[in-house]
Chains A and B, each alone.
Chain A
Amino acid sequence: MAVSKPKLVVVGNGMVGHHFIEQLCSLGLNKTFDVHVFGEEPRPAYDRVQLSKYFETGSADPLMLTSAQDYQDWGISLHLNTPITAIDIAAKTVSSAQGDNYHYDRLVLSTGSFPFVPPIQGNDRAQCLVYRTIEDLEAIQAAAQNSKVGVVVGGGLLGLEAANAMKQLGVKTHVVEFAPQLMPVQLNDKAGDLLCSKIEQLGVSVHTSKATTAIIDGETALHRMTFNDESYLETDMIVFSAGIRPQDSLARVSNINIGERGGIEIDDYCLTSAPDVYAIGECALWQQKIFGLVAPGYQMARVVASHIASLGSNTVSQSFTGADMSTKLKLLGVDVAAIGASRGFDNAQFVELSDNQGGIYKKLWLDETGKFLKGAVLIGDNSDYSRLLDSYLSQDEIEGSAVELLLAGAENEADLKDTSIVCSCHQVTKGDIVESVNAGNHKIAEIKSCTRAASGCGGCAPLVQKIIDQTLQAAGLDFNAGICAHFDHDRQALYHLCQVESINDFNTLITQHGKPSASGHKYGCEICKPAAASIFASLQNHYVLDQNLGHVQLQDTNDAYLGNIQKDGTYSIVPRVAGGEITPTKLIAMGQIAQEYDLYTKITGGQRIDMFGAPLSQLPEIWKKLIDAGFETGHAYGKSLRTVKSCVGSTWCRYGVQDAVGFAIDLENRYKGLRSPHKLKFAVSGCTRECAEAQSKDIGIIATDKGWNLYVAGNGGMRPRHGDLFATDLSTEDLYKYIDRILMFYVKTADKLQRTSTWMDSLDGGLAYLKSVVIDDVLGINDTLEQQMDHIAATYQCEWKTSLDQPEFLARFNEFVNPNDAPTADTNTYQRIRDQRFPNIKDAGAGTIAVKDITDDIEQPAVEELV
């Protein structure tokens, strides 16, 4: 008969409790113990650090850290919805709220914390909530549905997270803080003030130095909050996030020692005053300190697992020696970081950088000798964090002047020592990551699963990626930065090379910067050649089919013949119809040309007309007729501005507040011909009814009675995305400036075939960063961007007109080099449907695409997209 295993009971299945189980399993202790885990929530452990993600997806699934199945697989009994109400430390049993008793040989308390709700009269009114669990989020979401205004009480780290969530739910958000500044625990006053102004710019109102005295019935909203300075605020919902308190009530009623101000007292092995009972995480008090971050909790979990493993064996247990509380995070899109003694201390030396223009504040605190970093605070730019944290944790003497630490920039962010901790949640060092990369794990997902780096709060993911790239590069291995097999550079790097070295032809580019090829060929491929052609066009704006520069050989199918190839090898023709406005005369001219050549015609999604079925050899004469009728090329074949769609606007519409059509035409004329990493679409709506669907465009403009609202980075297609509001009530002049800058910055920095939406999301800081570049000019490049755009606009040419003026060029459009030997009749066959001509190709479906990489380029919601 088997000897029964010793029993291990864990109370609490939050992040730390779950981490303890993982540690236990990694040591194989789930086999030697009979493990029971009790959680009071209905779900197993989930990620509380990134709670506001719940609102991005509307689901708890992305937050889950584990599942009931995992526990079953580990042979661990997981009891959810089962609060533990008492511990008998003499009998070594715990009792559940359901009245069941469980024996333990070892007990781990991982009960976490609870949100502190200030004792204010009325704090229990309807829609007065807290922010900790998924159930809390559901309640916040429900309340937001019938709220216009919301207040978060507490301007600390969690309060600002809650404010972010509230803002995402579309509620006008206020933050009320008792202290004179935001994040008083981590930030000094200047840093707090800058954070405050940045958050207010995002539309969140911040009220500091305010103590709430009561919550009573409101007049314009559900509640009125009255403050100690006689002022008040009316609001429909309130979220209390004024700090956390250790959840120590179970220990308290069980006569386990509790600190004076709460928290279960523990020693260096996380043992409490009761025999064989441990406490870990936010409920534990070590040397009179509570650690309210996940990383120290994880450290405690590791210590306890190691202590249990050491019992009855000759291994030595780890011990808890305190934890670093440095933190880096993005609050409402604003970078914030605090390291060590981030609020300073007496006799400290300091270095301070306050960049009012760039919205950046950094301060380093040094010891009395000025040689050792003791603390730092960063607002608006976190890029120095890893390096500073490394300097702080290692306590190596600072080389040179401390100010250089601030100005070193982020380029060498990954130049850390092998012993430097990269992921503080899971204590993963740079060396661990490098080792794992060298063992064959080249993707961040693989690194996450085998080292666990970046799988906690995720804050270190960009750094982990850099270390992966650096390691692969050092090992001479291919990594994903290169645009294709012929270059190690991404598009942005190629753009810079071409710009700085004035490279204007592919042969120079591949000879000087391409990868050495065993065969010695310098042909490139269908990826790098069109990308290079697009870069040359963005920089110089020469004729795209220039034969002397060899540009014609670089162009992909559509650009090469200035038309859009169709499935039967014929082309479609799309003249520009700026703003969708066309005179009857031009409409008739187009109709006559289409009739003469028997072209299939269709109205596109971009408010113009597409004519299909022109064989290669007819393109020049058709275009000659179109140009004579006053048309110009529509660039439908290019990665360039397609259309500026418009509604009819104030000229005819009885609701319009601005002339949408006139403005759309002007915009289209300014940006036509701009070659970009991907196609660009604009729209202008003349009023808030948004009939032009501007929010689904790369650049969307909606008229207001004071000017124009600008939306950026929307798109239709396979993965539709609404544009983000970039700026409001702009004058026409400012709007042009902003669009100039946004587009040139996109052209300069985006990857090949990257739409504006994915480009903006890929920028570190996303929309907020783009705003800082375009509106605040943090990079100091706006003058250059505008000049470049002026150059593009000034050198615009209708490529078809240029082509028709060069007879030698037109030879390319002969179907055969020996046309006299060719049959005169068209070899393609057609059928007539609905009085128009269609290709007679057996296979009516889409062809098989050979290269998966281009699928993103083939979106098919409208004819305009197909071309």
Chain B
Amino acid sequence: MSWINVCSEASMPKGTGVAAWVAGRAVAIFNLGNDGLFALDNIDPASGVSLLARGLICEIDGELCVASPLYKQHYRLDTGRCIENNDLVAKPFDIKTEQGNVFVLAQS
């Protein structure tokens, strides 16, 4: 496992997501400013399509989520758990910034 530098902090748009290529897989990374950075597998477990980074950020009962652009399932940004269907999880990734760069922890 290693930390992969995906981009500079400045190139991450605020309040929304962007996909990054991390060691052979697409990861959706979200920059919520003071609320932190989040990273989930970009594949929407409900549809199998790689697009979670393009979802809308939502707050559902106090939890920060991303809504899938296709069928609107909500995934918690911290755990990746689907609010509507407990069986669906978008795998969460560790993410950090160091000296203005964004790193995602690659998983095997």
Q: Which of A526, A550, A568, A817 contacts B67 (CB 8 A)?
A: A526
Measured CA separation A848–B74 after assembly (Å):
13
**Within 8 Å of chain B (Cβ to Cβ): is A345?**
no
* A850 with B74, Cβ < 8 A, contacts A517-B62, A816-B26 known: yes
A815: which B residues are within 8 A, CB to CB? 19
User: Considering the complex, which residues of chain B in the window 50-91 have a beta carbon less than 8 Å from any beta carbon of chain A?
Assistant: 50-51, 54-64, 67-74, 84-85
Instruction: Name A812's closest neighbour in chain B (CB-CB).
Output: B13
Contact B19 A518 (CB under 8 A): no
Contact B20 A848 (CB under 8 A): no
Contact A519 B7 (CB under 8 A): no
A851: which B residues are within 8 A, CB to CB? 72, 84
A817: which B residues are within 8 A, CB to CB? 6-7, 11-12, 18-20, 29
Contact B49 A560 (CB under 8 A): no
Interface segment among A224-232, A427-435, A551-559: the answer is: A551-559
Measured CA separation A530–B62 after assembly (Å):
19
Contact A827 B59 (CB under 8 A): no
Contact A850 B68 (CB under 8 A): yes
Contact A521 B62 (CB under 8 A): yes
**Within 8 Å of chain A (Cβ to Cβ): is B105?**
no
Size of interface on B: residues with Cβ below 8 Å to A: 43
A603: which B residues are within 8 A, CB to CB? none
**Within 8 Å of chain B (Cβ to Cβ): is A569?**
yes
A842: which B residues are within 8 A, CB to CB? 48
Measured CA separation A277–B98 after assembly (Å):
95
Measured CA separation A106–B11 after assembly (Å):
89
Contact A521 B35 (CB under 8 A): yes
* A529 with B56, Cβ < 8 A, contacts A841-B48, A847-B46, A850-B84 known: yes
Instruction: Name A821's closest neighbour in chain B (CB-CB).
Output: B21
The 0/1 profile, CB within 8 Å of A marked 1, for residues 14-57 of chain B is: 11101111000010010010010000000000111111001111
Contact B70 A567 (CB under 8 A): yes
The 0/1 profile, CB within 8 Å of B marked 1, for residues 559-584 of chain A is: 01100010111000000000000000
Q: Which of B12, B16, B19, B72 contacts A850 (CB 8 A)?
A: B72
* Residue from the set A525, A850, A854 with the largest chain B CB neighbour count within 10 Å: A850
Contact A849 B71 (CB under 8 A): yes
Contact B19 A849 (CB under 8 A): no
Contact A524 B70 (CB under 8 A): no
Measured CA separation A825–B2 after assembly (Å):
25
Contact A557 B54 (CB under 8 A): yes
**Within 8 Å of chain B (Cβ to Cβ): is A315?**
no
Q: Which of B29, B46, B64, B73 contacts A523 (CB 8 A)?
A: B64
Contact B70 A525 (CB under 8 A): no
Interface, chain B (partner A; CB < 8 A): 6-7, 11-16, 18-21, 26, 29, 32, 35, 46-51, 54-64, 67-74, 84-85
Can you list 24 A-B contacts with CB-CB less than 8 angstroms, sorted by A residue number?
Answer: A485-B60, A485-B61, A519-B59, A521-B64, A523-B57, A525-B67, A547-B13, A556-B69, A565-B51, A569-B49, A569-B70, A815-B19, A816-B19, A816-B20, A817-B12, A817-B19, A818-B20, A819-B21, A821-B6, A822-B21, A841-B49, A848-B71, A850-B72, A850-B84
* Given A485-B61, A850-B71, 8 extra CB contacts under 8 A: A519-B59, A523-B59, A525-B67, A557-B70, A569-B49, A816-B26, A817-B20, A854-B72
